[in-house]
Amino acid sequence: MVATVVGTRVESLASSGIEAIPKEYVRPQEELTSIGNIFEEEKKENGPQVPTIDLEDLVSEDKEKRERCHEELKRAATEWGVMHVVNHGIPIELMDRVRAAGAGFFNQSMEEKEKYANDHASGNIQGYGSKLANNACGQLEWEDYFFHLVYPEDKRDMSIWPKTPSDYISATSSYAEHLRGLATKILSALSLGLGLEEGRLEKEVGGMEELLLQMKINYYPKCPQPELALGVEAHTDVSALTFILHNMVPGLQLFYEGKWVTAKCVPDSLVMHIGDTIEILSNGKYKSILHRGLVNKEKVRISWAVFCEPPKEKIILKPLPETVSEAEPPLYPPRTFAQHIHHKLFRKTQELGAK
């Protein structure tokens, strides 16, 4: 089976009628004990729930309302590092257009999608792809994806943006612009939560010119043995912030207080993650939470993750002086964003090699 898996899209595998997934997709034994039925998991009411934060008063003229909103945002960023955000200012019809455009791309024939295939070997990471095997363990994730930079406009490579469906470029561009505005507002509130000037975190992650928005549309086909696979393995995001839109099929789980907690599907919300970049700058006061994606037998799940990332080499990421004291020494060494990514990959390879 190995030969047939390499270079195969997960969607092709899923639609081939297989009843058992290839061994490359089966998670190690220690992970399998925690993988349950995602629909059952989502129904659970007992235990901790991912917070929902109403952003309506994020920039309110009313000081009291604004401060209350900021305080709730700060608490969620400190305790969880992830939250559902509602009243975020992004038009619901635009979110629906983005969903329709992304689903429309994946609904095309495989031949059509392959025209946009990326090529990691030559450094072309933008485009249509599937997770490559991690050499240390040879494990694969049950997903295909489409990845590209969506903001700022002058850094986009329009040659790899899908031409079909016809609304893809318009909807995605408009969505990215709205998200960029939301990121500024969130970063301002998080700066104030650390006792910093309003624009400080935005400046520290690259500002208007340098902060990059990278979109990854994750496509998780139905899986014949969902109890053995993961759509995305456990990880923390390297970004400053991540915004996730999805098609209301559950799958996201967060590792909170030693247990996997399933995120509910909250209508008209975005899921927002604090990424490693903000965790480092805040010296661990804001959390970048470990999370993963489950798959299921009945429904295709699609999620649109937009990662707000600092430039790879231009900025040194380290705890800001204001977040450090004798009682709270710096928890992270200075690194560029590129070095941080490399460090995480290297550490993961070491861990896997040790198993």
Instruction: Indicate if 343 belongs to the active site.
Output: no
Instruction: Indicate if 235 belongs to the active site.
Output: yes
Q: How far apart are CA 2 and CA 338, in angstroms?
A: 32
Instruction: Indicate if 264 belongs to the active site.
Output: no
Q: Which of 178, 237, 285, 287 is catalytic?
A: 237
Give 42's contacts (C-beta < 8 A, 6+ positions apart).
Answer: 250, 262, 264, 265
Q: Which of 131, 203, 235, 299 is catalytic?
A: 235
Q: How far apart are CA 336 and CA 276, in angstroms?
A: 12
Q: Which of 216, 273, 318, 340 is catalytic?
A: 216
Q: Which of 246, 291, 318, 340 is catalytic?
A: 291
Instruction: Indicate if 84 belongs to the active site.
Output: no
Give 13's contacts (C-beta < 8 A, 6+ positions apart).
Answer: 5, 21, 22, 221
Contact assessment for residue 253 and residue 292, using Cβ atoms and an 8 Å cutoff: yes
Structure tokens at 5: 């898996």
Question: Which residues are known catalytic residues?
Answer: 216, 235, 237, 291
